[in-house]
Structure 1
């Protein structure tokens, strides 16, 4: 198996294991390779030193991500998938969030899942009115249009 260093257009770096470089090229051309963080299917190969995954090999793996452990990378990938799902299942009402949340709460607009932006004072006022709100900071990669 060949272990390749890969990157998506959003700058997320990750590893991919392939039978050969040609196998990676074939899968990438068919959009079968996906970023585990944001789900982007436009993945490119980064220059890297040759590395083989040999059974029975021991010791630290060269080239392992210095920034995050595998558990941290998996958590980040799960969090990004969950955030993408929230974005896909909500309507973005932008800076009209507080107004639209009130309209829905008081049955002046159809009930639906919304997201948007508001100032902390307006969010606090919504909570005081009995309207559930939750802050949801988004990573820069998800602020771009979903693919």
Structure 2
């Protein structure tokens, strides 16, 4: 799944999840997209500034053990816990039909973007340099909000 930031002609911004960039273009051309705030079907991709981790999508690989981490001395409010649980559930659902490609993510995504292989939902790892290069090429990618364990590391 690909997440795009979208905007309507009235200036409202919102997110949309698509199987591919082609799916977005197809739905837009057929008038199937509409702004949830005002209902207009004049929707385009909004500029995105993704937060791409340095390596992969596992927190322990992003920060060295000695790095400081944001902390709080009280439990998170129930609303935050509920929102995080919903986000984790949405990510799990989105990845249910996605294939793990490990460190071949940049290569495989680029092949799909340029039509060298069939499009399919995939997830994996990419270095910061690889992610930046993909974004600069216009290849739609997005970081995952929660760590994903490679299949070989699952019980």
What is the TM-score with the length of structure 1 in the denominator?
0.48
Higher relative contact order (CA 8 A, sep 6+): 2
Larger Rg: 1
Q: What TM-score does the superposition give when structure 2 sets the normalisation length? A: 0.46
